[in-house]
A and B are shown apart, each in its own frame.
Chain A
Amino acid sequence: MTLYTDPSYSRVMVFIDYRNINNSVRYLDDSLTMDLAALVKKLVGKRNLVGAYVFDARKMYTDSSDETIAMHNSLREQGFRVIARESLTLKDGHTEQKEVDVSMACEMLEHALNNHYDVAIVVSGDRDFVPAIQKVQTAGKRVEVAAFDDVFNEESRRSADRFFRLNEIPFMEMISPFEHEEGGVDD
């Protein structure tokens, strides 16, 4: 339920916090993959998409084994603008993403102040975005939030002009078994 109408001429910009949604998806095995293009199409609907950003972390430039590079390139080929920030490697070997949220908030705000869009869709349930969402609204823009039930923050949901439950949107692609697998289909 929303107060607002969806004129087709609305310029929409999508900002995806990749780790936030990726960590919420239950992957059974490699039979499911996230189709962000399908998700964006569903969220934008008949409105005019003017840009889709994906914000993510990556390892240091020197680390060529980083699998996210291929994933980011694949997203770029689909038309996404990928902004990846270098992760911090902790002493125990684990990595922690840094600068990603702030980077996304800055980008969102800068585009709003430059009047590059009418509606921002924030794909993240992170509460850290609430101040940025409010500032964008103050700049005269609408903000819609899409998040999973288990990660969305009530404050973040209340701040949004419209809220989408990602749990209900079909954007996980399934695949047919390969020919050599049991029960595989002939192509």
Chain B
Amino acid sequence: MTNSNDWKKMTVEGTPYSESDIESEISKLQILVFRLDGRGENVVSSINGTIVFVDRWYSGEKVNVGDMWLCSVRYTGTVYHAMPMKKITVDMIIGMSESLRNDVVDALWNTNRKDYERLFEERYKSEIHSQALEEANKENRQIVSRMQARIDTLMKQVEQTNYLLKNSDEDEIVLTSDSYVGQSNNSNRLVNNVSYPDVIVGEHTSSDLLHVEQLQPIAERISADTIYCDSIVDGRCKVLISPDYKTLVISKCASGMSICSKSRIKLRGLDGVSPFTERKKLIAERLDNCSVMISL
């Protein structure tokens, strides 16, 4: 077995190099990664920010952009000239011993530290940027969704108020549990009494947005066979009545046998189970998102 350092001492003529010669030669060896220069014409590399050109006397395998080569470099005072010696490939790195691989990595890091740092920094910035963008988009979507819910609630409130204004035959109509509006001068007093939640465009607090007001549904017996309920969406629905004919549950249901049109539901036999005397408001309670319970 030959010593691993023996090769350093061998020459063509059999005369050993001196230690200083060997160290001098080794110090010239660099592992370089090649790229195109600023003008996109020449394949170059850099050592500590100084440009490295491929030696013009080099006539071996073509040096391409992105290639990694073990080179012997020569400094001319302003630039380096590199003589490519051995192309470093993935297969070659895999085949190396661990210590040798570490040496290569260290050499690469020391030689191209600035380039690598800039590369890593750009990649990190790009990742952070896309992550921040995604988070901002998500937050925006949530805000838009909450604002939309708020708008829907307000629209509902306006619709209810309009309905009350249009349909009330009484002297007073109830808007909410604590606000009354006179029929004689509805429009003026209505404006004064109806309170709209503050909506500030462009500014919000999380607590404001999270709280979406749930209004109690409005239900009214408007004729012998018709019930009005503002919370029922037009289309098919299921209407269930208790055998004592006191409780009615209306639910949105595709297989229901009743039809809601403009928030009005006509029911066969309603007058029989609950005789109609006059137009009157009914106590209604929301059971869930698509069901309302009405006391007849």
Residues of A within 8 A of B (CB): 24-26, 28-29, 31-33, 35, 38, 148, 166-177, 181, 183-187
Contacts and interface: CB of A to CB of B under 8 A. Distances in A.
Nearest to A29: B269
Contacts of A31: 267-269, 272
Interface stretch (B55-63, B113-121, B172-180, B242-250): B242-250
Given A28-B272, A177-B225, A185-B261, A172 B242 contact: yes
Contact of A174 (B240, B243, B244, B261): B240
B284 to A, nearest CB: 14
Interface string B237-264: 0111111101111000000111101000
Contact of B267 (A35, A166, A175, A187): A175
A177 to B, nearest CB: 5
B270 interface: yes
Contacts of B269: 28-29, 31-32, 174
Contacts of A173: 238-241, 256-257
B240 A172 contact: yes
A174 B247 contact: no
A176 B241 contact: no
A177 B240 contact: no
Nearest to B244: A167
B266 A183 contact: yes
Contacts of B268: 31, 174-177, 181
Contacts of A25: 243
Q: List the 3 shortest-distance A-B pairs measured between CB atoms, nearest first.
A: A31-B269, A170-B240, A31-B268
Nearest to A35: B240
B225 to A, nearest CB: 6
Contacts of A24: 243
B232 interface: no
7 contacts: A24-B243, A35-B238, A38-B238, A148-B243, A173-B239, A185-B266, A186-B261
A184 B238 CA distance: 17
Nearest to B268: A31
Nearest to A175: B257
B241 A32 contact: yes
